Structure 1
């Protein structure tokens, strides 16, 4: 009796499915294509006449002042000693006090800078402790005046044995790290 019940249940399920398929089919109504261009695309010839461009076949130029490379903004100060001195004296952060986020700049600093410069900016990072690199100065060293412009310039190009982090950090992240370095410097000077 138990086997017959299972078999009956299977037949009922198959019958319900068949009735469902047949009842959904209506041959009296045509099928609709909601996006016909997706199924039957229009073929265009290269360099054919088009009303998409104002000047005919010419490709349009980008708007004045746009940079078509994502959010990349060119940094126009040269990677020279003169460029470094210029950045040190003149480059200022575009972030105002409401945009500075130490909770964001701190982890970025720990990832990219703390290994050498130390998590406190004292020049005693893991690589210095293990003597893998030597001569990383503290941010509060006498005679070493660092500004937000010099910090940004060094993050962008690197200096001495420090490499560039321009590819790892976007512009806004670099400025967050600059703000965090300045906070560390102020904490060291207390």
Structure 2
């Protein structure tokens, strides 16, 4: 347990910390690059500017952590819990967020390029300013709840997601004619 610890700028690169617990710790600009830290709790931690590139955080809980400008490039974030967030500039490029719980998040300017989003939950999430290109989801999106007034996704078969787009209700995409409310959609990439 490292509850309340101050480890600003520390390096946990290549570390193995299974089932670790950090509560209300200051881990600003800490490097967890290539670390194996599955099932770890980072509740209410300051992780601003921290790097988790190529790390294994599967099953970890980052509820209410401060994550502005944190990087999760190519990280294993399967079944991660990332609830109740207001974060800016998160980078999930090529990360695996399959089965993740991103409920009640607001992720301004987040990048999901090439991310794997199979069965990822975005209930009551606002990712309207996110960059989502070549993300891999499972097929046709089925709705769960709302994503800033729009549909969120729970994919079911392999199909890349190309981008988020805003629709006005006059949109030529199929969802506009199916009675769904108009606003932002995650749309399957047409091949």
- Fold match by TM threshold 0.5: no
Structure number having the greater helix percentage? 1
Structure number having the greater strand percentage? 2
Greater length-normalized contact order (CA 8 Å, ≥ 6 residues apart): 1
- TM-score, normalization by structure 1: 0.23
- TM-score, normalization by structure 2: 0.23
Query: Which has more radius of gyration?
Result: 1
